[in-house]
């Protein structure tokens, strides 16, 4: 797309009688910049003031870039003619723009007269940035336009009608660094299409129709976006030279397995969300699972070391796949992994050690090997079918600060030996017999926990004791009962609490004095009175929408008078005779 980078003050011409004539120069201008965006121009301007280097003509009705004598254009470095009706560019015009570095022509009709226009483009000897997006260009047209732009650094061909990248299409642009080919119809990339681009660092091929990437050999690439294609196979070339790739987006494809990236030692961000990956465990593949058959499948050897080279990956997104098992061992080699998402899968169990292909995990998940801890700080497991986490789960995630377990079926355990607020002996975290609940106590580094929509009906005493949570989300648990001791241990840490949409009445919430609570969401319940334990909290934000409140108690508001910044009260049957709380 094209961006308006400058917002300049209008300059009005003054008639001899002193009256302003704003319509004579609708453009905004300064000594070096002129912006005529959306002013209704139908022709390319004939002259510019001396020294103008930036000219914006986007969102007009210009059809031709033509002019035989154009004073003042010799210094122009940036020209934006996006979103016009442009279909013809004359060589005479471009010859008078020797200093032009950036030319933005997106959203026009440059598929018309492309042969003559392409010949004119050969005069753009110094052009470094070219936008030809959304011009209905087919592959051969795009190739013709860039056939002699040897200094080009950034090229935008997004939103066109390209179906293939023929070998040699970029031979004349060896200095290209960024290439956007997104939102086309590309089904084929011929061998050698990128061969000349030794300086290429960023490629966007999202929103195309690619089915298979094999022999991927762009070792110098830093960022590659292949999202929203139809990829079933991604295999990189096993050469001696390591890949410099740092960001790889393969989301929204049809991948059946974790991609083979044996030399991607510098990769930091890997997005595999919205694919069809059903397992991360080693095992035999079944060619029948692929929609299409590929010759490359013969040399596609899936092993247990698929992630072994990814030692620098910090962010891994595997959300919206078909995983049924969370195998800790698969992630052990990812020593830099900080953020991991397995949201919206089919997870039911957590496996501490690698299971042989076809082996079903037992109810008592085996613990991972000693010191096989993951470095993950943020873990997203929402939208699965997890019923219980094993007792060793949090011990194997010693750096964990944030976990989202929303939309599962987890029940928090009662803290063993903490009925009187005492400490746990030996730091043990053993669930109740039968393994039907998950212990969330004694996880000292955990700061943010979401248990929304888990069908929790009752919190046991001291369920989060010795876990210094800053935020706790218990929303969407219908008829939840929170006894006074349930949040014991959070009195001096908890800052944000959500009990939204639980349909709780006055008898269901007995909150302790939470000395640090700042944000509280009680909306979507059946409260007619606020829980008294809240009166000592330094609340800054309170949401009590859609309850049964007739009034807000004055003692509560008086205690919050210095701290409360916003309060949401809509959807309550407030009594018109009891509105004195508004004065407070």
Work out the burial of residue 417: count CB atoms within 10 Å of its CB; fewer than 13 is exposed, 13-18 middle, 19 or more buried. Answer: middle
381 lies in some domain: no
226 lies in some domain: no
Cα 190 from Cα 180, distance rounded (Å)? 17
Last residue of a domain, which of 166, 185, 209?
209
DSSP 126: T
- H-run or E-run covering 129: strand 129-131
DSSP characters over 473-514: E-TT-TT-BB-TTTTTT-TTT--EEE-TT----GGGB-----
Contact criterion met (CB below 8 Å) for 151 and 176: no
- Could you tell me how many residues make up the chain? 584
What is the span of the domain harbouring residue 488? 410-416+436-583
Q: What does the pLDDT read at residue 305?
A: 60
Cα 294 from Cα 300, distance rounded (Å)? 10
Q: What does the pLDDT read at residue 68?
A: 74
Q: What does the pLDDT read at residue 380?
A: 98
Work out the burial of residue 15: count CB atoms within 10 Å of its CB; fewer than 13 is exposed, 13-18 middle, 19 or more buried. Answer: exposed
CA distance readout (Å), 269 to 64, 243, 305, 339:
44, 14, 18, 10
CA distance readout (Å), 518 to 47, 115, 538, 556:
61, 66, 6, 14
Classify each residue of 374-412 as buried b or exposed e, where b means 16 or more C-beta atoms within 10 Å of its C-beta: bbbbbbbbbbbebbbbbbbbbebbeebebbbbbbbebbb
Kindly report the CATH number assigned to the domain that includes residue 110: 3.80.10.10
* Beta strands per DSSP E along 36-128: 54-56, 64-65, 78-80, 88-89, 102-104
342 lies in some domain: no
347 lies in some domain: no
Q: What does the pLDDT read at residue 11?
A: 34
CA angle at residue 493 from 490 to 498, to 5 degrees? 70
Last residue of a domain, which of 155, 180, 209?
209
CA angle at residue 431 from 426 to 437, to 5 degrees? 145
Ramachandran area for residue 289 (φ above 0: left; ψ -120 to 50: alpha; else beta): alpha
Cα 3 from Cα 439, distance rounded (Å)? 52
Torsion angle of C-alpha atoms 273, 274, 275, 281, degrees rounded to 10: 50
Cα 490 from Cα 146, distance rounded (Å)? 63
553 lies in some domain: yes
For residue 65, what are the β-bridge partners? 89
312 lies in some domain: no
Structurally, the chain folds into a number of domains equal to 2
Q: What does the pLDDT read at residue 527?
A: 96
372 token code pair: 């096989």
346 lies in some domain: no
Q: What does the pLDDT read at residue 524?
A: 98
Contact criterion met (CB below 8 Å) for 343 and 382: yes
Nearest CA among 264, 277, 254, 273 for reference residue 327: 277
69 lies in some domain: yes
Backbone torsions φ then ψ of 202, nearest 5 degrees: -130, 125
Nearest CA among 257, 252, 271, 264 for reference residue 302: 257
106 token code pair: 């997106």
For residue 247, what are the β-bridge partners? 223, 269
Last residue of a domain, which of 149, 174, 209?
209
Q: Are strands 188-189 and 212-216 parallel, antiparallel or unpaired?
A: unpaired
Question: pLDDT digit of tens for each residue in the chain (584 aa)?
Answer: 454 333 333 333 323 344 433 445 689 989 999 999 999 999 988 888 888 999 999 999 999 998 778 888 899 999 999 999 999 999 999 999 999 999 999 999 999 999 999 999 999 999 999 999 999 999 999 999 999 999 999 999 999 999 999 999 999 999 999 999 999 999 999 998 999 999 999 999 999 999 998 878 889 999 999 999 999 988 887 777 889 999 999 999 999 999 988 888 899 999 999 999 998 876 535 544 555 555 555 555 554 466 778 999 999 999 999 999 988 888 988 999 999 999 999 999 887 654 444 444 444 566 666 557 899 999 999 999 999 999 899 999 999 999 999 999 999 999 875 544 444 443 455 554 457 899 999 999 999 999 999 999 999 999 999 999 999 999 999 999 999 899 999 999 999 999 999 999 999 999 999 999 999 999 999 999 999 888 899 999 999 999 999 998 888 888 888 899 999 999 999 988 888 888 87
């Amino acid at each position: 797309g094209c961006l308006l980078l400058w917002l300049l003050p209008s300059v009005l011409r003054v008639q001899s009688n002193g009256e302003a004539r704003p319509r004579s120069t609708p453009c905004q201008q300064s000594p070096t910049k002129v912006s005529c965006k959306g002013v209704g121009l139908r022709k390319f301007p004939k002259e510019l003031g001396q020294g103008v280097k930036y000219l914006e003509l986007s969102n007009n009705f210009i059809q031709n870039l033509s002019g035989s004598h154009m004073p003042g254009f010799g210094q122009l470095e940036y020209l934006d003619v996006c979103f016009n009706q442009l279909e013809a560019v004359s060589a005479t015009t471009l010859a008078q723009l020797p200093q032009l570095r950036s030319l933005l022509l997106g959203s026009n009709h440059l598929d018309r007269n492309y042969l003559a226009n392409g010949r004119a483009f050969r005069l753009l000897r110094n052009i470094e940035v070219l936008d030809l997006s959304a011009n209905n260009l087919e592959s051969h047209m795009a190739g013709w336009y860039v056939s002699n732009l040897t200094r080009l650094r950034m090229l935008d061909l997004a939103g066109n009608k390209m179906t293939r990248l023929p070998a040699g299409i970029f031979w004349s642009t060896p200095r290209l660094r960024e290439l956007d080919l997104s939102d086309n119809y590309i089904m084929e990339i011929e061998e050698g299409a990128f061969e000349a681009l030794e300086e290429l660092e960023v490629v966007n091929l999202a929103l195309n129709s690619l089915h298979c990437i094999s022999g991927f050999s762009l070792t110098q690439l830093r960022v590659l976006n292949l999202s929203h294609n139809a990829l079933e196979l991604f295999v990189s070339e096993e050469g001696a030279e390591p890949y410099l790739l740092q960001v790889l987006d393969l989301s929204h494809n049809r991948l059946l397995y974790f991609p083979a990236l044996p030399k991607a030692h510098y990769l930091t961000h890997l997005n595999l969300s919205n694919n069809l990956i059903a397992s991360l465990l080693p095992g035999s593949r079944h060619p029948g699972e692929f929609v299409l058959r590929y010759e490359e499948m013969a040399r596609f050897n899936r092993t247990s070391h698929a992630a072994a080279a990814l030692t620098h990956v910090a962010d891994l997104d595997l959300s919206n796949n078909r995983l049924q098992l969370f195998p800790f061992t698969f992630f052990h080699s990812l020593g830099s992994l900080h953020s991991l998402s397995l949201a919206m899968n089919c997870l039911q169990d957590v496996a501490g050690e690698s299971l042989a292909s076809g082996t079903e995990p037992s109810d008592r998940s085996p613990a991972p090997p000693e010191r096989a801890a993951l470095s993950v700080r943020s873990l997203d497991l929402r939208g699965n079918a997890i019923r219980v986490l094993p007792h060793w789960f949090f011990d194997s995630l010693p750096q964990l600060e944030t976990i989202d377990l929303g939309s599962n079926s987890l029940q928090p355990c009662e803290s063993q030996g903490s009925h009187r607020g005492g400490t746990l002996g030996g730091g043990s975290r053993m669930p109740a017999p039968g393994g039907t609940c998950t212990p969330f106590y004694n996880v000292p580094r955990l700061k943010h926990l979401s248990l929304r929509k888990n069908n929790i009906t009752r919190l046991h005493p001291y369920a989060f004791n010795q876990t210094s949570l800053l935020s706790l989300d218990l929303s969407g648990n219908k008829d939840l009962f929170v006894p006074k001791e349930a949040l014991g241990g959070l009195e001096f840490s908890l800052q944000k609490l959500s009990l939204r949409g639980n349909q709780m009445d006055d008898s269901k919430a007995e909150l302790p004095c939470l000395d640090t609570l700042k944000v509280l969401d009680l909306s979507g319940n059946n409260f007619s009175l606020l829980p008294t334990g809240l009166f000592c909290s330094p609340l800054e934000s309170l949401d009590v929408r859609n309850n049964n409140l007739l009034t807000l108690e004055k003692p509560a508001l008086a205690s919050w008078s210095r701290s409360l910044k916003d309060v949401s009260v809509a959807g309550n049957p407030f009594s018109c005779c009891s509105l004195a709380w508004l004065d407070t």
